[in-house]
Amino acid sequence: MTELSPLKIVVVGHVDHGKSTLVGRLLNDTGSLPAGKLEAVKAASEKRGVAFEWAFLLDALQAERDQGITIDTTQIRLKTKPRETIIIDAPGHREFLKNMITGAASADAAILVVDAVEGLQEQTRRHGYLLHLLGLRQVVVAVNKMDAVNYDIGRFAEVVAEMNAYLSGIGIEPQHIIPISAYNGANVVTRIDALDWFTGPTLIDGLTGFKAQAQPVELPLRFPVQDVLKLDERRIVVGRIESGRLRVGDEIVFNPSGKAARIASIESWGTKVPVIAAVAGQSVGITLDDHIFIERGQIGSHQLAAPREARAFRANLFWLGTQALEVGQRYKLRLATSEQTVEVERIVKVVDLDDLKSDSVTRVDRHAVAEVVLRSKVALALDEFSENSRLGRFVLVDGFDIVGGGIVVGADAELSRLAQSVKSRNLFPVGHRASLEARWLLNGHKGGVIWLTGLSGAGKSTVAMEVEHQLLRKGRQVYVLDGDNLRQGLNSDLGFSPEDRTENIRRVGEVAHLFASAGTIVITAFISPYQADRDRVRTIQPETFHEVYVKAGVGECTKRDPKGLYAKAIKGEIPEFTGISAPYEAPEAPELVVETEGHSVESSVAQLLDYIDRTFALEAGEEADALRG
């Protein structure tokens, strides 16, 4: 008999992407079905003249009440080792969002199911966003129905890229993205040959690394007062320790009142020896050494690590009310055990889940998610969700109904890019005595920057090196700046975080323009995924900057995979890999597009050479001007 609490996993995703089929498969493949059940359901399907579906297993189990296994419309127990798994099958229909939230909020981890054919859909986005708001950080993406795309690695890579692009935008980093076919049982519990290119875990193995949500014992103490019981002359303050720990003798301050007293005893019934300490997750009763005023809703903490007190705060919330949330409306806010009236001061934005862009609007409709500012007349004791989720989340109540839930967020959490300003003030650039045009004349051609951008494997370096070779043979001054080469020296201190990528491109841009101002044709071969970064390089010397998009799709690049990087990225071994787990922003208005997908290297090289010949040639007038200068 295991003493481990079961691991609760919610299965979410768009309607018809195969959630129930997957749960049926998991029941069967983990041996959690009673003997003969599968055969009975198959026979019943045949009798009814319909093709068997794995989802029928769920229907059958829900209808039957005399089975020895635990049946639950929302919770199904799987016999897994070392701990049981409880699968919460959450409805994909938008109409049942409150049930999805009810199920998902109690889960330790989530499986986000996405159809390999359809890819990211509306409820995939919504459920993903809600997982984030609910604080679920253990997420596996199951790319289902791989059989319908012939187990194609290219299509898988495209879905992976699409999912990562979306999920990273909402702060979810899936532990695994796993190609499966729930219908065929491929990669759910067992592997099949058609997916032998995938070396990551099966779905069930992917789940074994997950942990039941641990009690936040190491965070500062948060002890929301649930009640004050007056029993046998004792005045017992009861509540559940939401985080941290307490012990007899500790001085506890209660906010928002700010009154403090020491713990005289931890009360219990049925234990033979006195309790002297307690930790997060325990529902305790304490007595205090001083008769201070305490009531439900106050938050006990240690003086040096007390929660914030705020009358107004910014929150991300999901709205379930049939009436829209509007500015000026009042609701009861419940945060831990406290309850206060709050007014909606501002609707900062409503998040459009289709593109994650937000509109400024005055109302939040049912099932929408929004950022709002809430104000209370009295101070509220709370934490930011990112610091302590237990005291950083709340529900709103309208009348008798819970109409929304939300998390307390701080100031703009947007990525702050490195400031792009010159730090030293006493700089006096020195002018050269030789003009740029003179250098051009000496070389017989103009200088400038050919900035190649595109996915890893699109062919940037291949094209750049071949073009350099051919230009040198024609006597041109040309030099290639290659990403991997520069990262060995000048940029060896940089990694692949968005900030480091930005700094990498900034340095390369400066170096490229120095070469260009020496009259050289500089070809750079960097993924340079962000448009803003490329635009910044352009502004250094716009007239000599040429943005060239070396274009090939994620699917194609995954198949080429010359450095074996996509294979690693898909397995999650390379974090923040452009195209798979980090975004790539295609150029908005490049000077040239070189399509390498479906074209030979030779023709791509020829295309770029032709462009350089046309744009870097000196014209007669320019030669004369240069001589005069």
Partner 1 sequence: MRTSQITVVLTMNDLDTLEQQSLFILREAFSRIEKLALLWSIGKDSCAVLWLVKKAFFGHVPFPIVHVDTGCKMDGMIEFRDRLAKEWNLPLIVGQNKAALKQGVGPHQGRITCCEALKTDGLKAIVAEHGFKGIIAGIRRDEEGTRAKERVFSPRGVDAGWNVHDQPPEFWDQFTTSVPPGASIRIHPILHWTELDIWRYIEREGIPLVDLYFDKGEGKRFRSLGCAPCTAPIASRASNIAEIIAELETTTVSERSGRAQDVESEDAFEKLRANGYM
CB 220 within 8 A of CB 244: yes
CB 452 within 8 A of CB 526: yes
- Selected catalytic residue, list 389, 456, 528, 604: 528
Residues 285, 519, 555, 572: which binds partner 1 (CB under 8 A)?
285
What single-letter DSSP state applies at residue 591?
A: S
Closest listed residue to residue 557, CA positions, set 517, 611, 596, 503: 596
SS3 375: strand
Residues 82, 196, 231, 377: which binds partner 1 (CB under 8 A)?
231
Residues 30, 45, 102, 386: which binds partner 1 (CB under 8 A)?
102
Helix axes 55-63, 19-29, angle to 10 degrees: 80
CB 127 within 8 A of CB 93: no
Q: With 0-12 CB in 10 A as exposed, 13-18 as middle and 19+ as buried, what is 123?
A: buried
Residue 99 found at the interface with partner 1 (CB under 8 A): yes
Residues 45, 74, 184, 462: which binds partner 1 (CB under 8 A)?
74
Q: What is the CA radius of gyration of the chain?
A: 31
Q: Is the bond preceding 82 in cis, omega lying within 30 degrees of 0?
A: yes
Virtual CA dihedral for 49, 55, 56, 62, nearest 10 degrees? -160
Nearer to partner 1, 227 or 352 (CB): 227
Annotated catalytic, 301? no
Per-residue 3-state assignment (H helix, E strand, C coil) for 210-272: CCCCCCCCCCCCEEECCEEEEECCEEEEEEECCECEEECCCEEEEECCCEEEEEEEEECCCCC
Residue 374 found at the interface with partner 1 (CB under 8 A): no
* Binding map of partner 1 across residues 504-523, x = CB under 8 A, - = no contact: --------------------
CB-side exposure of 21: number of CA atoms within 13 Å? 21
| Beta pairing class for 251-255 and 245-247 | unpaired
For the four alpha carbons of 594, 599, 600 and 603, in that order, the dihedral sign comes to: negative
Contact segment (CB under 8 A) with partner 1 among 73-81, 166-174, 437-445, 476-484 equals: 73-81
Residue 236 found at the interface with partner 1 (CB under 8 A): yes
DSSP string, 290-322: S-----TT-EEEEGGGPPEEEEEEEEEEEE--S
Closest listed residue to residue 27, CA positions, set 2, 49, 59, 51: 59
Residues 50, 70, 532, 613: which binds partner 1 (CB under 8 A)?
70
Residue 101 found at the interface with partner 1 (CB under 8 A): yes
Residues 283, 303, 362, 485: which binds partner 1 (CB under 8 A)?
283
Residue 271 found at the interface with partner 1 (CB under 8 A): yes
Which residues, 11 to 50, sit near partner 1 by CB under 8 A? 34-35
Contact segment (CB under 8 A) with partner 1 among 119-127, 280-288, 551-559, 562-570 equals: 280-288
Residue 381 found at the interface with partner 1 (CB under 8 A): no
CB of 140 to partner 1, least distance (A): 21
Which residues, 111 to 170, sit near partner 1 by CB under 8 A? 134
Nearest 5°: the CA angle 398, 402, 403 is 70
Residue 274 found at the interface with partner 1 (CB under 8 A): yes
* Binding map of partner 1 across residues 433-472, x = CB under 8 A, - = no contact: ----------------------------------------
Residues 72, 250, 343, 365: which binds partner 1 (CB under 8 A)?
72
Residues 4, 50, 532, 617: which binds partner 1 (CB under 8 A)?
4
Residues 48, 400, 489, 493: which binds partner 1 (CB under 8 A)?
400
Residue 310 found at the interface with partner 1 (CB under 8 A): no
Nearer to partner 1, 395 or 540 (CB): 395
Q: Which residues bind partner 1 (CB under 8 A)?
A: 1-6, 34-35, 62-63, 65-75, 77, 98-99, 101-102, 105-106, 134, 215, 217, 226-227, 229, 231, 234, 236, 238-240, 245, 267-271, 273-279, 281-283, 285, 296, 320, 334, 393, 395, 400-402, 405
Positions marked catalytic: 528
